[in-house]
Amino acid sequence: MKKIDPAFKIKGFATKQSVRLSEKTLAKTEKAGNYLTDLADVVLFLGKVFRETFSRDFEFKEFLRQCFQIGYKSLPLISITGAIMGIVLTIQSRPVLVNFGAVTLLPGMVAISLIREMGPVITGLICAGKIGSGMGAELGSMKVTEQIDAMEVSSTNPIRFLVVTRILAATLMIPLLILYADALGIFGSWAGANLKGDVSFVLFFSQAFSHVTFMDLFPAVIKSFFFGAVIGTVGCYQGYNAGRGTESVGKAANSAVVLASLLVIIVDVVAVQITDMLRS
């Protein structure tokens, strides 16, 4: 029986190891290439959106229809969410303030908490779930059924008609929904305060807004516009760039919700840091 040279064994083992290392390197290179490709697609998409936003032929009727879909159709969910925020925050905070003898500070504390953080962030996350997923699923289904391709063939710009109108509508309507949720939250706080007490409506609201300053309201309104732009852009991008299969519609809707929610939190962190720098 012929013996195998030990040097040949070592050489073969080294060859296998080098093949494995090259496969891992190739996989990492492909992954990095995919990330760069996705980044380039996002930049090109944003460039098209920015260019079509300032074009002459703006689809005003479609913009109004999207404002109705995003704003009016979201009012029931936002109403319930805003009222519950105020009630829960009041019920949880009142016993602590009673122990410190500072129950008169309850309206101001709730108003500032809702206007600064809870109202914009929670409403933004709710809108990311409802509006972002709706945009992703709607545009994704249009992509799968080749309606977007048909618009391009018929000389209709799908970016201008489908994407720009939705992003601008979300940028405009989500801040209004956030202000609406803040108002209902303060009203719910008054209702929660009257569960174990007796506070007049006028007195509660006067105490609430006496603690609210311009630097509480202005940064919250500004960052809510960014929330709307982020939610609209992510939802439209995921739907517009969905795959051809039917399962891609669900993936587009799911990825739109996850990414939009994450970006809303990131934008909020950045906005809080900037606001803190301006106050100091």
CA distances from 159 to 44, 112, 147, 204, 209 (A): 12, 39, 13, 48, 43
Positions of E strands within the chain: none
DSSP labels for 29-68? Answer: HHHHHHHHHHHHHHHHHHHHHHHHHTSSS--HHHHHHHHH
Task: Compute mean pLDDT per 10 residues along the chain, 280 residues long, and list them.
Answer: 51 55 64 71 85 83 92 92 93 86 86 92 93 90 86 84 92 95 93 84 88 88 94 92 82 91 94 85
Using CA atoms, how far apart are residues 202 and 257, in angstroms rounded to an integer? 39
φ, ψ of residue 14 to 5 degrees: the values are: -65, -35
Using CA atoms, how far apart are residues 271 and 229, in angstroms rounded to an integer? 14
pLDDT of residue 30: 64
Residue where the block lists tokens 């093949």: 19
